[in-house]
Amino acid sequence: MSNYRSWDSEHVYVLSSSHKTNTDAGSKDQIPGDDSIATFLRAADPVSMATTFAAIATYASESETSTPVQYASDAWNFDPARDGFNHSLSNSQCEEAFPEYYKEIDRAAAFWKDEKISQTETNITGRTGVVRAMIYDRQLYIIESHMDNSPGVYDLYRAMAILGSLNRVIVADQGPIPNIEFVFSVSDVEWNPAPAWTLCRAPDDETHWVMPDFGYWAWDNTVVGSYDQLLRELEDKPTKFSQKKELALWRGADSNEERHNLLQAAEGQQWADIEAVSWGSPEGFVQVVDHCDYQYLIQTEGNSYSGRLKYILNCASVVLMRRPSWIESFTHLLKPNGPDQNIVELDSFVNLPETMDYHLSQQQQSERIARNAREVFKDRYLTPAAQACYWRQMFEKWASVQSWDPKPWTIEQRSSGEGWHKKDWEEKVWHGVTYELFMYVFPFRINDSSLFCWVQIRADDRVPG
């Protein structure tokens, strides 16, 4: 059994878990107790995992249906301390608080405005790392999912995090939600050009809709943990730029030319706390929350975009990076120059020593960049409230270019008998399962010996036993 307590009206914390696993003693998958859902989900016992996660999901959903925050007057302005974790802002409040956030959604909607999206384009046969889902009458359904279950691939965890984010938004929203059917991809890069919600896109990729990534829900507790909890822990970190370490920090794998150039440029520099690390080894790791102890933070891309950027932009530090090759939901808000500058952009990390020498000698300018970053990202566009508003805007704009009226069932003709005894009738056949049942059952139907986990969810999956 797991014990729970409530932090506030929106959060549940796992205090302890006395579950058994099927692994040998000393295995990295043995987790006697942890306060992170993401880490707990690595446990091998499916019954414990299913029961715990379903209880958490149910508790959180029920909590978020509570009465919305009441404000003293009709004059409202976004206050990050009061509203930053509020997933129930009205549409007008979303527009007022985050007017510049929806550029990516507007771009995708404009691209599909004339052609419209057809239901046939939601076919995911033969693809992996994708989920076909539907929102109907404020209920989230999973119609079909294709997950890669290879060692070291995190499709399922990512999908569960995205679905958790979607369900939280649906439950918390106080207004109408359109009925939509859609596909989302959890791959670092989605190469299939069919319209889908993706973690990022290349600049020349016009067909995909960029969504908030899985990290806004949670990720591996050894490095990050729950996004909401990370933001709460950041409140205990230094807020003044002068109180931070006068160093530049980076940790990551030496996996591409950009990172290799960074490591070479930083070698032997007094301002550098920059090291390559190996995933799976604790040596050299720095928790994301502890990145915020440093004045300067280095951002590099990986296989595609790097999920680290949203975390370090919450630090009120100076982020140094090359121009992004991959576009996320907030990429257009990065300002590399001018009075609103909130990052430092480099042509190449070969030039990092000169750039660092300049900014170390210009502390007031560096502090202004860090302050701008805090105001734009930590205090506004990277808040949980902003992500909820972004998701809801995606629902609306996707619905505006959707060419069919989705339903989680079809009416099918049935017959039995022959001749005078023949009977014909219509039967409503449900497709897919609800989010609640999916989270309770599906993650534990994976065949460990298979390379790919492919699930076509049937109507009879809805029936216990």
Residue 40 pLDDT greater than 60, yes or no:
no
Residue 47 pLDDT greater than 90, yes or no:
no
pLDDT band of residue 366 (cuts 50, 70, 90) is very high
Paired sense of beta strands 139-148 and 130-136, if any:
antiparallel
Helix (H, G, I), strand (E, B) or coil at 93: helix
Q: Between 282 and 330, name the one with better pLDDT.
A: 330
Retrieve residue 412's tokens: 């099918």
Residue 4 pLDDT greater than 50, yes or no:
no
Separation CA 6–CA 10 (nearest Å): 8
Residues 368-390 have a mean pLDDT of 98
Q: Between 441 and 134, name the one with better pLDDT.
A: 134
Residues 437-456 have a mean pLDDT of 55
Q: Between 78 and 283, name the one with better pLDDT.
A: 78
Is residue 108 within 8 A of residue 209, CB to CB? The reply is yes
Q: From the centroid of its chain, how far is CA 334?
A: 19
Provide the CB-side half-sphere exposure for 79 (13 A, CA): 7
- pLDDT score for 277: 87
Q: Between 22 and 394, name the one with better pLDDT.
A: 394
Mean per-residue pLDDT of the chain: 83
Q: Any idea which of 52-66, 81-95, 135-149, 245-259 has the lowest mean pLDDT?
A: 52-66
Residue 285 pLDDT greater than 90, yes or no:
no
- pLDDT score for 220: 78
- pLDDT score for 152: 78
- pLDDT score for 319: 98
- pLDDT score for 444: 57
Is residue 313 within 8 A of residue 378, CB to CB? The reply is yes
- pLDDT score for 153: 85
**Closest among 51, 52, 45, 43 to 14, alpha carbons compared:** 52
**What are the C-alpha distances in Å from 81 to residues 45, 100, 284?**
39, 20, 33
Report which residue type is found at 397.
K
Residue 202 pLDDT greater than 50, yes or no:
yes
- pLDDT score for 223: 75
Nearest 5°: phi and psi at 250? -155, 140
Helix (H, G, I), strand (E, B) or coil at 142: strand
Q: Between 283 and 245, name the one with better pLDDT.
A: 245
- pLDDT score for 239: 81
- pLDDT score for 142: 95
Beta strands in 314-406 (DSSP E): 318-322, 344-346
- pLDDT score for 442: 67
Q: Any idea which of 53-67, 224-238, 285-299 has the lowest mean pLDDT?
A: 53-67
pLDDT, tens digit, 9 for 90 and up, residues 29-38? 333 333 333 3
Residue 341 pLDDT greater than 60, yes or no:
yes
Q: What's the pTM?
A: 0.83
pLDDT band of residue 17 (cuts 50, 70, 90) is very low
Non-local (6+) Cβ contacts of 420 within 8 A are: none
Residue 26 pLDDT greater than 80, yes or no:
no
